[in-house]
Structure 1
């Protein structure tokens, strides 16, 4: 049986696309020993992701601190600025090679947090009350804890 160059090319192209889709969904992962999915990154990539998580936690702190104020304009401004700083602008310059290594569920949770931080900032600007803001924040931190329960990072060997 003789295969044409076109058939071989199509087969290779299909295999390449399938492999790319596999890595887009699964990332560079394996089941961890503690029940979480272990995500393998380079040391600098791991530091970048963990730095972004610390930035998100600082934004949550800024929001909670603002909510604990007297609901003065300065408090609302603090909440809005903290949320906006952790919005989609924080995720704008992510390296595509890093994104390939992250599993789809991790990417979905992370991007939803960034979008919701922008939405929270918009809600503050539109004068939502503290209880509504706190409910929004609670929804986000629930996803954060879920993600931390699902994933852990390791430096690839």
Structure 2
């Protein structure tokens, strides 16, 4: 009897881990009508993710404006602050329940952008050239456009 109970519990544990792993990788997604993958979120979760994306875009804008200014010494601090504001510090408070709904490639792209924003801020401090900073920024925005080409947000039903 105990052996059978242990076997049932072990099977339930394996199934639970498999479902959790599959959910972590796939997220709460469905195919969308435009060929992208639709990520299903509660309205407040969707608003939170879209708000974070707007903050990232504002950071990119801050970097570009800083690079366009003539007084590079003063503007380097502005560029660093804009980039640092969108770094990993921005990602630390994301609700784990929301993260569980996002597919793994989406999470990987998002986290790589936050890490790269911190690296861009470090590059500004280390006095990389405008061209080097723009190349870094170009690499990041390429991932942004790829993500927008692959995913869209929908509301859970």
Q: TM-score range by the shorter chain?
A: over 0.9
* Alignment match, 2:60: 60
The match for 1:19 is: 19
Within 2, Cα distance between the matches of 1:81 and 1:73? Answer: 13
| Aligned counterparts of 2:20 and 2:64: Cα–Cα separation in 1 | 41
Check if 1:40 corresponds to 2:64.
Answer: no
Q: Which runs of 4+ in 1 moved over 4 A?
A: none
Alpha-carbon separation, structure 2, partners of 1:21 and 1:90: 26
Q: For 1:67, what is the secondary structure of its paired residue? A: helix
> How far has the Cα of 1:75 moved from its partner?
1.1
Aligned residue for 2:139?
139
Measured after TM superposition, the shift of residue 59 of structure 1 is 0.1
Distance in 1, Cα, partners of 2:12 & 2:71: 61
- Per-residue CA deviation, residues 75-98 of structure 1 (Å, 9 max, x unaligned), is 111110000000000000111110
RMSD: 1.1
Q: Say how many residue pairs are matched.
A: 156
- State the TM-score, normalizing by the size of structure 2: 0.97
* Structure 2, gaps ≥5 residues long: none
How far apart, in 2, do the equivalents of 1:80 and 1:88 lie? 14
